[in-house]
């Protein structure tokens, strides 16, 4: 290799040439390292090249390239995969941990369907710990395969899926459109062999001073890494397998039952899991679960639980989905894996709601294939050895810095601390004193009666809360602004010339930068014309934003992704939501005070006379807050949305009533175009209509009728008003039917309703 010229001796041309070469070299190394996993230079060499690049740039700042490697953090996002929108969303499953959860699942379904003790059967099958894949066939030919992605859009991994021998390329006698879904996984034996092969190759790489490839931590990672290979030839060398267990779009039904449909997939040439069984009761499900758990270690592939699905597909159809999970299926997870390690320190994090959350910093330990170095400690009672009701947990043992603790992981959730080994407690360990001041802004941190959590009272003056709120606002599931991540938020929050203190500030950033003559963002360290342009474009691109994303992004307490989606679907426009929150306010306040009063009564007065007193306190509260019928209807309507309870209702009405918060929300919304969710079936005859159900329904429960009407785009209300479009009245309908008649509102019976929505 030619000797390198010292930077100080370089001519302009030499420097320009060197920068071009370094950019190419470092870019390739980045891509190899993060993408194709075959790095061709050592870490030391990589660092040396990077330093040389910096030195040349310092000497010749005017030559700094647009694609300068100094500006690149890690690799560019993997660009290679195309995106595929799923015709039918790929959802996840709710979890059950205890036997009781399984009994509750059965009960919930019976109640929803209103089928009493009638027979109800389920399938039970292993939950494979891999990654889900959807494969589309048209006229028997595979057209594409896509990963789950965010559930609505996945990555096009067709070329890779074609290398998996469990997946047929073409099928005979299949429906015209068939989307088969299932799990891609790697067997234990193949995983060991792959890692052994990598280790062996690494010996050679190390011998010549090259960077070794990472061995995979577990079969799931190995399967994911292999399926998401840009080069299908690499995937082909990785032995992946596939179990089919579900489907997406179909041009005709596969069967009448889950079991029948799965067998049909088998007849098309797919591999189905032979531990799939039909069970007639929760007890039978649990006994099959135990059987699978006993065999777990000898199956030869990783599973993390057992999935139960309602067997009758017509019932599955009736049960439908909550926003991200089906009502007709649940995953019964295996108990978590455990490990002991040392708790080095307890840190307090201040979240976006001001909650002080204690976090255990642990000596790193492997729990179920994953290295864990942090665990949640929930709250101060948990650390002290008490639960939220004051009862002892862990036999009353408290948790101290320096303790040996048992850590567990259940599913993908944050690891938790289960137990403490008192025998190993250091002599100098002292009980943990939970801070009564916010560690960030030093405001008082208070804990209200009946609340397990201590909250910083600093509100927006607390930098931690403000910054966390902003980070949440730009996060992937919220506004998802490219180039504006947690790191940049922290920077802009502190920035004097161009601060971002609230979400609305993000949308004035470009304008403020343009009128700022002193310190243009593009002139600053770490920024350049291109990155600034990209950032502003990304922000501009989010001026038009989906209702649910915006609502979720505001970070209102209890309003998670699901609640935000449910609310958006119900209200459809931002103004409708804001109006409802305002109207419902007095009723919400009355509800809150009456609810607390009721709790009081429960301990004071005994059963006798309690009802009367509760009613009395409700009435008193209604009077105290001057609750109008309109307010009560708005509150009932809000908390009557499937999945929205009083906690969400209260938090929402609080947020819209809080002057400062409301001011911020309005300032933000004024700058945006809020996009209403697609009404699920626009062409349904009830889309956009307000429907009221009254009287008793005989062929479906109230909850089912309501959920069904909402999926068809209708708005379901609890009371009849001028805005009502349709009343569905069963036997025993009373005042509502009369009112509807008075107002001249169309009224039909249950059969009429079913006929109306038939075939949708
Ligand atoms: S059914 C609509 N069955 O678990 C529900 N999922 O936690 C469709 N999984 O994303 C899923 N084994 O990747 C189903 N036998 C099984 C499964 C299974 C593994 C995965 C799947 C899903 C996740 C949900």
Question: How do residues 225-239 score in pLDDT, each as one tens digit?
Answer: 999 888 888 888 899
First and final C-alpha spacing in the chain:
71
- 739 and 647 assigned to the same domain: no
User: Is the CB of residue 132 below 6 angstroms from any atom belonging to ligand 1?
Assistant: yes
Ligand 1 centroid–CA 129 distance in Å is: 9
Cα separation, 506 vs 361, whole angstroms: 34
Looking at residue 614, its pLDDT comes to 67
Domain membership of residue 422 (yes or no) is: yes
Say whether both 103 and 227 belong to one domain: yes
The token pair that represents 192 in the structure block = 């060991």
Going by C-beta distance under 8 Å and a sequence separation of 6 or more, which residues neighbour residue 427?
Answer: none
Q: What share of the chain is helix, strand, coil (3-state, %, to 5)?
A: 45, 20, 40
∠ CA 696-698-700 to the nearest 5 degrees?
A: 105
For residues 493 and 417, membership in a common domain is answered with: no
Q: Is the CB of 261 under 6 A from ligand 1?
A: no
Helix 646-657 vs helix 629-639: crossing angle, to nearest 10: 120
**Lookup: tokens for 253:** 């039904």
Tally of domains in the chain: 6
Cβ neighbourhood burial of 391 (10 Å; 0-12, 13-18, 19+): exposed
Name the token pair of 435. 């801070």
Instruction: Confirm whether 406 is domain-assigned.
Output: yes
CATH of residue 227: 3.30.470.30
Q: Supply the residue whose CA is at minimum distance from atom 22 of ligand 1.
A: 92
Note the pLDDT of residue 32.
63
Q: Taking the model in full, what pTM does it have?
A: 0.58
Is the CB of 358 inside a 6 Å radius of any atom of ligand 1?
Answer: no
Helix H or strand E segment including 417: strand 416-420
Residue 292 Cβ < 6 Å to ligand 1: no
Q: Are residues 172 and 247 in the same domain?
A: yes
Q: How far is the CA of 263 from the centre of ligand 1 (A)?
A: 17
What does residue 611 show for φ and ψ, rounded to 5 degrees? Answer: -55, -45
CA nearest ligand 1 atom 13, residue? 132
Question: Domain limits at 724?
Answer: 690-757
Q: What is the CATH classification number for the domain harbouring 374?
A: 2.40.50.140
Which residues does the annotation mark as catalytic?
127
pLDDT at 70: 67
CB of 455 sitting under 6 A from ligand 1: no
Mapped onto helix, strand or coil, the DSSP state of residue 624 is helix
Q: Is 319 in the pocket of ligand 1 (CB under 6 A)?
A: no
The answer to whether residues 96 and 243 belong to one domain is yes
Tell me the three state secondary structure of residue 271: coil
127 lines ligand 1 (CB under 6 A): yes
Q: Which of 71, 99, 120 is the last residue of a domain?
A: 71
Q: Is the CB of 360 under 6 A from ligand 1?
A: no
Are 593 and 715 members of one domain?
Answer: no
452 within a domain of the structure (yes/no): no
Residues 438 and 463 in one domain: no
Q: Are 226 and 240 in contact (CB under 8 A)?
A: yes
CA distance linking residue 136 with residue 150, whole number of Å: 18
Question: Which ligand 1 atom minimizes the distance to the CA of 132?
Answer: 13
Query: Which of these, 343, 341, 377, 372, lies nearest to 359 by C-alpha position?
Result: 377
Residue 241 bridge partners (DSSP) = 185
Q: Which of 88, 93, 299 to mutate to test the pocket of ligand 1 (most atoms within 8 A of CB)?
A: 93
CATH number of the domain where residue 28 is located: 1.10.287.610
Domain termination residue (choose one: 542, 562, 595): 542
- Kindly give the number of the ligand 1 atom that is closest to the alpha carbon of 325: 2
Regarding the beta carbon of 327 and ligand 1, being less than 6 Å apart is answered no
Give how far Cα 691 sits from Cα of 639, 688, 697, 712, Å: 16, 9, 14, 11
Examine the domain organization and report whether 376 and 431 are in the same domain.
yes
Q: Please tell me the residue having the least CA distance from ligand 1 atom 16.
A: 127
* Cβ of 329 below 6 Å from ligand 1: yes
Q: Are residues 329 and 356 in the same domain?
A: no
Q: What per-residue confidence (pLDDT) applies to 182?
A: 98
- E-assigned strands of 479-577? 544-546
**Sign of dihedral through CA atoms 560, 477, 372, 439?**
negative
Q: What was the pLDDT predicted at 439? A: 96
User: Residue 558 and residue 651: Cα distance in Å, rounded?
Assistant: 7
**16 shares a domain with 111:** no
Question: How far apart are the C-alpha atoms of 476 and 487, rounded to whole Å?
Answer: 14
In a domain, residue 29? The reply is yes
**Is the CB of 182 within 6 Å of ligand 1?**
no
- Structure confidence at residue 75 (pLDDT): 36
Ligand 1 contact via 382 beta carbon (within 6 Å): no
Pocket test for ligand 1, best of 88, 89, 91, 92 (most atoms within 8 A of CB): 92
Whether 2 is covered by a domain: the verdict is: no
Q: Which of 307, 324, 327 to mutate to test the pocket of ligand 1 (most atoms within 8 A of CB)?
A: 307
Pocket probe mutation, ligand 1, options 128, 224, 327, max atoms within 8 Å of Cβ: 128
Residues 60 and 96 in one domain: no
Do 74 and 58 form a contact (C-beta atoms < 8 A)? no
Whether residues 319 and 436 share a domain: the answer is no
pLDDT of 69: 75
Residues 47, 51, 52, 53, Cα dihedral to 10°? 100
Q: What residue owns the CA closest to ligand 1's atom 17?
A: 127
Ligand 1 mean position, distance from CA 224 (Å): 15
CA distance 116 to 667: 51
* Cα 415 to Cα 418: distance, rounded to the nearest angstrom: 10
CA of 237 to the centre of ligand 1 (A): 26
Distance 449 CA to ligand 1 centre (A): 41
Kindly give the number of the ligand 1 atom that is closest to the alpha carbon of 127: 12
CA 342 to chain centre: 30
**What pLDDT is attached to residue 4?**
77
Å from CA of 131 to ligand 1 middle: 9
Alpha-carbon distances of 398 from 240, 383, 392, 419, rounded to whole Å: 46, 6, 10, 9
Q: Is the CB of 91 under 6 A from ligand 1?
A: yes
- What's the gap in Å between 239 CA and the centre of ligand 1? 21
Please list the ranges in the chain whose pLDDT falls under 70.
1-3, 30-44, 47, 70-79, 369, 410-413, 595-611, 614, 679-682, 759-760
Ligand 1 mean position, distance from CA 90 (Å): 9
Task: Give the bridge partners for 154, in sequence order.
Answer: 84
Q: Has residue 184 been placed in a domain?
A: yes
Contact (Cβ atoms closer than 8 angstroms) between residue 212 and residue 195? no
| Residue 433 placed within a domain | yes
Cβ atoms 165, 280 nearer than 8 A: no
Domain termination residue (choose one: 298, 333, 368)? 333
- Distance of CA 92 from the midpoint of ligand 1 (Å): 6
Q: In ligand 1, which atom is closest to the CA atom of 148?
A: 10
DSSP-assigned letter for residue 222: H
CATH of the domain at 484: 1.10.150.20
In a domain, 81, yes or no: no
CA–centroid distance, 290 to ligand 1, in Å, is 19
Question: Does the Cβ of 331 fall within 6 Å of ligand 1?
Answer: yes
Minimum-distance ligand 1 atom for the alpha carbon of 95 = 7
Model confidence pLDDT, tens digit, residues 461-494: 899 999 999 999 999 999 999 999 999 999 999 9
Residue 184 alpha carbon to ligand 1 centre in Å: 11
Specify the ligand 1 atom closest to the Cα of 329.
5
- Where is 147: in which H helix or E strand? strand 141-147
């Amino acid at each position: 290799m030619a000797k390198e010229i010292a930077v100080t001796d370089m001519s302009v041309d030499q420097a320009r040439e060197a920068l071009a070469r370094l950019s190419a070299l470092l870019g390739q190394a980045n891509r190899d390292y993060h993408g194709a996993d075959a790095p061709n230079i050592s870490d030391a060499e990589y660092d040396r090249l990077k330093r040389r690049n910096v030195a040349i740039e310092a000497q010749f700042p005017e030559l700094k390239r647009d694609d300068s490697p100094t500006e690149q953090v890690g690799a560019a996002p993997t660009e290679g995969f195309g995106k595929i929108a799923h015709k039918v969303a790929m959802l996840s499953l709710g979890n059950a941990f205890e036997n009781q959860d399984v009994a509750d699942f059965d009960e919930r379904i019976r109640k929803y369907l209103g089928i009493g003790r009638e027979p109800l059967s389920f399938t039970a099958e292993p939950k494979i710990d891999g990654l889900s894949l959807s494969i589309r066939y048209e006229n028997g030919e595979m057209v594409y395969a896509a990963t789950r992605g965010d559930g609505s859009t996945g990555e096009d991994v067709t070329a890779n899926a074609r290398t998996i021998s469990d997946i047929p390329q073409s099928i005979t006698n299949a429906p015209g459109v068939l989307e088969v879904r299932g799990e891609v996984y790697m067997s234990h034996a193949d995983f060991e062999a792959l890692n052994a092969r990598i280790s062996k190759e690494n010996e050679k790489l190390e011998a010549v001073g090259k960077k070794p490839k990472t061995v995979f931590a577990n079969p799931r990672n190995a399967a994911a890494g292999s399926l998401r290979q840009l080069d299908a030839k690499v995937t082909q060398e990785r032995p992946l397998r596939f179990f089919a267990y579900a489907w997406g779009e179909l041009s005709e039904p596969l069967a009448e039952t889950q079991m029948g449909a799965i067998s049909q997939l088998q007849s098309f040439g797919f591999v189905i899991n032979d531990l799939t069984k039909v069970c007639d009761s929760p007890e039978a499900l649990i006994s099959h679960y135990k059987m699978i758990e006993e065999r777990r270690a000898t199956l030869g592939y990783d599973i993390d639980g057992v999935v139960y699905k309602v067997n009758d597909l017509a019932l599955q159809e009736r049960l439908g989905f909550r926003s991200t999970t089906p009502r007709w299926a649940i995953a019964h997870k295996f108990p978590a894996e455990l490990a002991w390690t040392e708790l080095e320190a307890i840190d307090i994090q201040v979240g976006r709601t001001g909650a002080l959350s204690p976090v255990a910093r642990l000596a790193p330990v492997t729990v179920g294939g994953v290295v864990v170095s942090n665990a949640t400690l929930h709250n101060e009672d948990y650390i002290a050895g008490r639960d939220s009701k004051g009862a002892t947990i862990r036999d009353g043992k408290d948790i101290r810095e320096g303790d040996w603790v048992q850590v567990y992981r259940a599913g993908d959730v944050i690891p938790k601390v289960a137990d403490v080994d008192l025998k190993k407690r250091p002599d100098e360990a002292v009980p943990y004193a939970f801070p009564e001041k916010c560690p960030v802004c030093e405001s008082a941190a208070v804990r209200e009666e009946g609340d397990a959590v201590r909250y910083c009272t600093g509100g927006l003056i607390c930098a931690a809360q403000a910054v966390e709120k902003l980070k949440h606002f730009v996060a992937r599931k919220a506004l998802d602004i490219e180039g504006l991540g947690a790191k940049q938020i922290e920077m802009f929050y502190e920035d004097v010339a161009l601060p971002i203190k609230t979400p609305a500030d993000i949308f004035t950033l470009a304008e403020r930068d343009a009128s700022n003559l002193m310190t243009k963002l593009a002139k600053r360290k770490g920024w350049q014309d291109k990155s600034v342009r990209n950032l502003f474009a990304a922000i501009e691109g989010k001026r038009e934003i989906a209702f649910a994303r915006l609502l979720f992004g505001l970070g209102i307490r209890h309003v998670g992704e699901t609640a935000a989606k449910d609310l958006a679907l119900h209200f459809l426009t931002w103004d409708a939501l804001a109006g409802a929150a305002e109207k419902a306010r007095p009723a919400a306040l009355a509800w809150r005070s009456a609810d607390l009063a009721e709790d009081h009564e429960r301990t004071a007065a005994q059963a006798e006379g309690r009802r009367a007193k509760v009613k009395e306190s409700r009435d008193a509260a209604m009077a105290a807050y001057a609750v109008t019928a309109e307010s009560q209807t708005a509150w009932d309507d809000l908390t009557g949305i499937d999945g929205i309870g009083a906690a969400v209702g209260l938090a929402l009405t609080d947020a819209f009533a809080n002057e400062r918060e409301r001011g911020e929300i309005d300032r933000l919304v004024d700058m945006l175009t809020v996009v209403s969710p697609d009404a699920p079936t626009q062409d349904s005859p009830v889309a956009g209509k307000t429907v009221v159900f009254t009287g008793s329904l005989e062929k479906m429960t109230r909850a089912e009728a309501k959920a069904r009407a909402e999926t068809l785009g209708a708005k379901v209300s609890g009371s009849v008003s001028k805005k009502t479009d349709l009343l569905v009245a069963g036997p025993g309908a009373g005042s509502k039917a009369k009112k509807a008649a008075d107002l001249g509102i169309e009224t039909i019976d249950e059969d009429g309703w079913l006929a109306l929505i038939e075939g949708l």
